[in-house]
Structure 1
Amino acid sequence: MPTLRILTNTQVPAAERPNLLAHASRTVAELLGKPETYVMVILEDGRDLLFAGTSSPAAYLELKSLGLAELRTAHYSRVLCDLLVESLDIPADRIYIEFAAPPRHLFGWNGGTF
């Protein structure tokens, strides 16, 4: 159930969206060592977002996964920031990331929970 939400004030051209989503999906699966068949990526671009008093390119990410390893969040942060620097030219110091590891019974899928 790994889920990556990317919220950014940059506009991603329609032709580039599928590649960004696919790259992010593969990255999350590899990063967490989970099958990509369970990974969901949500892209919300062109949003109103002000960071550090400016509307320069910035992003807010949420990475949720069952059993998210708290000791690895610094590594996850580096990899996800690199992804956005590479893909959207957003500087790493203009990216916030929220990590969450919900209890299995609080995450639903396929008519049940994990």
Structure 2
Amino acid sequence: MPHFRIETNVPKSKIPQDFVSKAIPVLAKALGKPEQYCVVSLIAEVPMNFGGSTDPCAIGNLMSIGALGVEQNKKHAKVLFELVERELGVPQDRMYITFQDEPTGNVGFKGTTFHSLFG
């Protein structure tokens, strides 16, 4: 159920082919969630300007059912910013990440919601 979505102006040619595969275990470990429920998506070559510059930049959104909060998000931010900087070349001061904690009833899976499956 965790989904880390990244939009960036970095060209596809500069993104490692295995980026999303490498990001899954990082995300799962940070959130303490099973890898089989984690999703990482990356949208490259988005026309994007951050602070008046089109140098490499990104915007991210991390959605999860639980495992998010003021103190937890600081730890998640550290790991995810480091990952994006190392793998995509986006400096940590040229990206934002929003954290979205969703209730189980707001996330669908297998024709129902997580609330129905695990609630």
TM range (shorter): over 0.9
| 1:86 maps onto 2:86 in alignment | yes
Aligned counterpart, 2:75 = 75
Alpha-carbon distance in 2 for matches of 1:58, 1:14: 13
Change (3 A) 1:91 1:27: same
The 5 A counterparts of 1:27-106 are 27-70=26-69, 71-106=71-106
Give 1:75 shift.
1.1
Alpha-carbon distance in 2 for matches of 1:14, 1:91: 14
Change (3 A) 1:36 1:95: same
**Gaps (5+ residues) in structure 1?**
none
What code does the residue aligned with 1:99 have? F
> What is the number of equivalent residue pairs in this alignment?
113
**Gaps (5+ residues) in structure 2?**
115-119
Contact 1:68 1:100 in 2 (8 A): no
What code does the residue aligned with 1:29 have? A
Alpha-carbon distance in 2 for matches of 1:91, 1:15: 14
What's the % identity of the aligned pairs?
34
Alpha-carbon distance in 1 for matches of 2:78, 2:26: 12
The 4+ residue runs of structure 1 with deviation greater than 3 A are: none
Alpha-carbon distance in 2 for matches of 1:13, 1:53: 24
- Give the TM-score of the pair, scaled to structure 1: 0.94
- Give the TM-score of the pair, scaled to structure 2: 0.90
